[in-house]
Amino acid sequence: MSLWGVSSQADVLETLQAQLKTSNLPIESIADSEVPGLFSLKLSDGTTLLTDATGTYFIQGDIYQKTNGRMVNLSEQERSDSRKALIDGLDEAQMVVFAPPAAKLKTTITVFTDIDCGYCRKLHQEVPELNRLGIAVRYLAYPRAGIDSASFDKIVSAWCAPDQKKALTVAKAGEPIPSRTCDNPVKMHFELGELVGVTGTPSIVFEDGRLLPGYLPAARLAAQLGLPTDS
């Protein structure tokens, strides 16, 4: 609930928008925040700032709310919702997917991966066990060295291979694969990773939009997902 009534709050937002037009901030949206008296600015790079009604003071950081005796990270909830919307909007045909039979599927993880990343290779070795536990693994490309790198070229070659799953598996085993080019989503995946907060690989996005940075063995990952590991 804000400190103002509906009509005056709309006036405050309008004034704030006019005030911020003269700033150099790449603002995508302005809205009331969960904190009375403060407004949420979403920037084009995904950053969220809080500002006062005059657009003079700015705060960057997470908002926590005390609820039923515990602290809830409202900012992370918002990031998860935004992440989920972005991932849900992707075409699965542009991913490399390792999935169990449909009858055994329990949940799906979407993984930003890099061929030359040691922990990405360790996670890939866990894929058969993840599939056995009912977890589908959908890969998105995230060459950590950047667009103009050997890692980028390698992962493009895997995405352009006739058998993407085999090529990715061979490459993650440290073996060479034929160099290929084609229309591919690797650059788009990389830019999406930057937008959703990927800072390293593997980065695992759960179905609800939560982001798990780093590697976990299959059993621990299943536990994070609330799945039994003895099935």
Is residue 90 domain-shared with residue 178, that is, in the same domain? yes
Least confident of 76-80, 169-173, 202-206: 76-80
Q: Is there a contact between 68 and 75 (Cβ–Cβ < 8 Å)?
A: no
pLDDT(46) > 80 = no
What are the tens digits of pLDDT across the range 55-81? 888 888 888 888 888 888 787 788 889
pLDDT(1) > 60 = no
Is residue 118 domain-shared with residue 208, that is, in the same domain? yes
Is residue 112 domain-shared with residue 170, that is, in the same domain? yes
- Three-state SS annotation for the chain: CCCCCHHHHHHHHHHHHHHHCCCCCCEEEEEECCCCCCEEEEECCCCEEEECCCCCCEECCCCEEEECCEEEEHHHHHHHHHHHHHHHCCCHHHCEEECCCHHHCCEEEEEEECCCCHHHHHHHHCHHHHHHCCEEEEEEECCCCCCCCHHHHHHHHHHCCCCHHHHHHHHHCCCCCCCCCCCCCHHHHHHHHHHHCCCCCCEEECCCCCEEECCCCHHHHHHHCCCCCCC
Specify burial of residue 102 (Cβ count, 10 A radius: 0-12, 13-18, 19+): exposed
pLDDT(85) > 60 = yes
User: What are the angstrom distances between the C-alpha of 156 and each of 72, 148, 166, 181, 182?
Assistant: 40, 12, 14, 7, 8
Is residue 109 domain-shared with residue 217, that is, in the same domain? yes
pLDDT(180) > 80 = yes
Is residue 18 domain-shared with residue 57, that is, in the same domain? yes
Q: Is residue 81 part of a domain?
A: no
Is residue 218 domain-shared with residue 106, that is, in the same domain? yes
Catalytic residues: 114, 117, 120, 144
pLDDT of 25 reads: 82
Is residue 106 domain-shared with residue 193, that is, in the same domain? yes
Its pTM stands at 0.78
pLDDT(8) > 70 = no
pLDDT(117) > 90 = yes
**What is the amino acid identity at position 45?**
D
What are the tens digits of pLDDT across the range 93-115? 999 999 999 999 999 999 999 99
What are the tens digits of pLDDT across the range 119-150? 999 999 999 999 999 999 999 999 999 998 99
Q: Is residue 192 part of a domain?
A: yes
Q: Is there a contact between 119 and 163 (Cβ–Cβ < 8 Å)?
A: no
**Residue at a domain's end among 18, 46, 61:** 61
Give the range of the structural domain holding residue 126, as residue numbers without chain letter: 86-224
List the CATH number of the domain containing 156. 3.40.30.10
User: In whole angstroms, what is the distance from residue 72 CA to residue 66 CA?
Assistant: 6
List the CATH number of the domain containing 28. 3.10.450.70
User: In whole angstroms, what is the distance from residue 180 CA to residue 141 CA?
Assistant: 15
Quote the number of domains for the chain. 2
